[in-house]
């Protein structure tokens, strides 16, 4: 029986890897699956809520002290020091697979050293594959485009129900809100959110149309950043601000006429639900991106990964036109073709990844496989 470890840390990585672990765990006569949660991330909390059996560890060394090496390790590509990353160079003959949950992964940050490069990368689309190939000089044949498993839950998602229930809730929140108003959902990053939110509010004031603005800040925003965002929201002169922090974010994305952010993965969710969305990468937004993700050696200048799913805004003056198109539902016609081509939402992405993992576990002489490039 093949021993397989699934290692996860951050929310995005956990949500992307867990569906595959569940499928392989169901094949109990073929695989012995162990789910490992990094104590330094949100994985333990998410896994607890999922009902799946898992173990929490604080370091890669602790994992290896307790268990012998598996035949295969699948890890999320999470931020900061992570158990999944640190295990890669320690597992001598173990097959290693990394599953980034965004187009850019953490290629230029925590995973930049070739010691951490796995045997295979599983990405969602051609741009994700191109970025890995160019930033790491990673072999094309070791990059598999199989879709993001975290998108599977959106197959059959009832958008109309979400819109109807959310709009009724909004109506109950205050008399100044109307079911006829356009809903703008704004989602923030960990840093720099207030600068972009201020730009958005200024443009909405310029348009002058009555709207409902729903702000969702990053859960780990500092008090200083939260205060700056509140100040920006106080400058809105049209429509109303609706506080819906306890609502499911997927439902809010479905209900909104347009989702606006810098590079939050909520934009990917919006695209998966075939909703209008805008990525604001003006001077302020782009600086936040570079500081968080990396400069990506100029790859972002002409072909941002979100170009496949979102309306990319590099200049504030173009944000007004994009929002006006969204309020008329005209933005959807521009975004829909790429969204449908690049984001597969058929409920089978996790199954495709599982089939690939089964395939590579069938390879003999695994100890002769090289990790990444140049090992």
pLDDT for the residue numbered 295 = 64
CA distances from 121 to 38, 75, 117, 193, 254 (A): 20, 10, 9, 31, 30
**pLDDT digit of tens for each residue in the chain (375 aa)?**
899 999 999 999 999 999 999 999 999 889 999 999 999 999 999 999 999 999 999 999 999 999 999 999 999 999 889 999 999 999 988 999 999 998 888 888 899 999 999 999 999 988 889 888 888 989 999 999 999 999 999 999 999 999 888 888 887 776 455 666 899 999 998 888 999 999 999 999 999 999 999 999 988 788 999 999 999 999 999 888 999 989 999 999 999 999 999 989 899 999 999 999 999 988 888 888 888 777 665 555 556 667 778 999 988 889 999 999 999 999 999 999 989 988 999 999 999 999 999 999 985 344 444 555 444
Q: How far is CA 148 from CA 13, 201, 346, in A?
A: 10, 33, 11
pLDDT given for residue 105 in this prediction: 84
Q: What angle do CA 37, 262, 277 make, to 5 degrees?
A: 100
Reply yes or no on domain 156-342 having CATH 3.30.470.10: no
Same fold, 2-152+347-368 and 156-342: yes
Q: Which fold has domain 2-152+347-368?
A: Rossmann fold (3.40.50)
Question: Domains of the chain: which residue ranges?
Answer: 2-152+347-368, 156-342
φ, ψ at 293 (rounded to 5°): -100, -40
User: Could you give the CA distance from residue 248 to residue 259 in angstroms, rounded to a whole number?
Assistant: 14
Q: In the prediction, which pLDDT does 104 show?
A: 80
Q: How many CB atoms within 10 Å of residue 328?
A: 11
Q: Please say whether the beta carbons of 143 and 372 come within 8 A.
A: no
Structure tokens at 308: 């496949």
Q: Where are the beta strands (DSSP E) in 79-225?
A: 95-99, 120-123, 143-145, 182-187, 211-216
pTM: 0.88
CA-derived radius of gyration, the chain:
21
- How many Å apart are CA 292 and CA 128, to the nearest integer? 17
Q: What does the pLDDT read at residue 126?
A: 85
């Amino acid at each position: 029986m093949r021993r397989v470890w699934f290692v996860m840390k951050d929310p995005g990585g956990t949500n992307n890897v867990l569906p595959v672990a569940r499928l392989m765990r169901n094949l109990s006569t073929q695989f012995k699956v162990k789910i490992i949660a990094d104590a330094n991330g949100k994985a333990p909390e998410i896994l607890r809520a999922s009902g799946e059996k898992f173990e929490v560890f604080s370091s890669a060394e602790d994992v290896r002290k307790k268990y012998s090496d598996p035949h295969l390790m699948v890890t999320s590509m999470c931020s900061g020091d992570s158990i999944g990353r640190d295990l890669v160079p320690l597992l001598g003959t173990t097959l290693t697979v990394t599953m980034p949950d965004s187009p850019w992964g953490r290629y230029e940050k925590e995973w930049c050293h070739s010691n951490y490069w796995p045997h295979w990368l599983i990405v969602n689309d051609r741009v994700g594959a191109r970025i890995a190939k160019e930033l790491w000089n990673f072999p094309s044949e070791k990059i598999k485009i199989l879709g993001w498993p975290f998108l599977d839950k959106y197959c059959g998602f009832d958008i109309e129900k979400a819109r109807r229930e959310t709009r009724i809730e909004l109506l109950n929140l205050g008399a100044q809100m109307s079911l006829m108003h356009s809903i703008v959902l704004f989602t923030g990053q960990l840093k720099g959110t207030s600068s972009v939110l201020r730009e958005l509010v200024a443009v909405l004031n310029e348009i002058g149309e009555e709207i409902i603005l729903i702000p969702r800040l990053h859960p780990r925003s500092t008090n200083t950043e939260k205060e700056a965002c509140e100040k920006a929201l106080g400058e809105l002169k049209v429509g109303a601000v609706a506080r819906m922090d306890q609502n499911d974010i997927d439902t809010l994305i479905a209900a909104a006429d347009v989702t606006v952010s810098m590079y939050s993965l909520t934009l990917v969710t919006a695209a998966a639900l075939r909703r209008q969305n805008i990525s604001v990468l003006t001077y302020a937004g782009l600086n936040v991106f570079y500081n968080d993700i990396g400069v990506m050696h100029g790859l972002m200048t002409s072909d941002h990964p979100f170009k496949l799913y979102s309306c990319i805004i590099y200049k504030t003056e173009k944000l007004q036109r994009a929002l006006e198109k969204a309020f008329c539902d005209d933005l959807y016609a521009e975004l829909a073709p790429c969204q449908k081509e690049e984001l597969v939402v058929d409920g089978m992405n996790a199954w495709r990844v599982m089939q690939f993992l089964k395939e590579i576990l069938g390879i003999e002489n695994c100890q002769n496989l090289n990790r990444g490039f140049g090992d």
